[in-house]
Amino acid sequence: MKNLIYILCSSAIFAWGGQNPWISFDVPLNANNLSLSKSNISTGSKGFYQFSNPALLPMTSKIDYGVCYNKMSLDRSTNVISLNFKLPPNAGVGVSIVRSGTNNIQGKDIFNNNTHIISNHDMLGMISFGVLINKYISAGLNVKISSSSLDNIFGDDNLGEYSISNKGIGLDAGLLLQYSSLVLALKIENIKSSKSWNLNLSDGNSYDENIPLVSKFGTHYSILDNMLKFYLAGDNSLNKYSLNRIGVEISPIKKSFKIKFGLSNISTFSSTLGFDYSGKIGNKIPFKLDYGLAFGGVQEGMSHILTWTFIR
């Protein structure tokens, strides 16, 4: 009986996105990406380039580092720490850690009675590398490792110490093509990626799960001396290629302040809004503060995200 309840509860927690067991990381992991609805695959976000496209890492300054907190609807949240380093003459490397989780999950038994309040989180570690091949082409690679676990679901009644855990590994590859004012970006996620599940139940069970391949592409165009930028991106997440993300970035007064808008899943009209401000601490250390707001496309509520980026 407990095994059945355990499987039902854990399936509800781990299955964030249908067939993709890594969907908990496929959310905007910094405010700029959220504000533009992840349409900025061709420019990324300073300090967080590897999440948009590892081919952008050669654009890193000497050292760029950032932290991000994303308070999402439905008691979900993500936390990110990212470090990007310039590798002379024409390369960059990134190291990042992501925690994605949800709280206040009400457990139920087979009679629909309330049991324990459950929490769950996934961890992702990533090492990234990008190189400028020539003045037109750059390429990059992400190597990522994930882990998650769900322990002690029955509280003090868990005499069998039942638990579920998994570990995964995967690769992402990115490519950036630049010629004059034209920029094209391509990112392929989850190359040869899989997760190994360990079900510590009374009879025990383990299995491997392959992760679907996702291809993303995008471009952007600037006018009025970069005071106005338009972004366009798409992917094959719905088993067909479609342009499903657009973004607009405006610098109304100074380049130190920008307002951003985004739209994704155009059929369900999921919109986003944000701004960023760039300045210096003590006139020495450049920083950027980003804020993003997602209104939600299926009445799930609003999500807020804050990002701090420092440049050395």
CA separation (Å) from 219 to 42, 166, 180, 187, 275? 5, 36, 13, 12, 21
Residue with tokens 């081919």: 55
DSSP 32-64: HHHHTTT--TTT--TT-HHHH-GGGGGG--SEE
Domains, the chain, with CATH or none: 2-311 (2.40.160.60)
pLDDT-derived band at 5, boundaries 50, 70, 90: very low
| Residue-wise pLDDT tens digits, 79-127 | 999 999 999 999 999 999 999 887 777 777 677 888 777 777 889 999 9
Q: What was the pLDDT predicted at 157?
A: 60
The letter for the amino acid at 269 is F
pLDDT-derived band at 66, boundaries 50, 70, 90: very high
* Mean pLDDT on 132-141: 96
**pTM score, two decimals?**
0.83
| Residue-wise pLDDT tens digits, 37-57 | 999 999 999 999 999 999 999
CB neighbour list of residue 68: distance below 8 Å, 6 or more residues apart? 29, 30, 31, 48, 78, 79, 80, 82, 305, 306, 307, 308
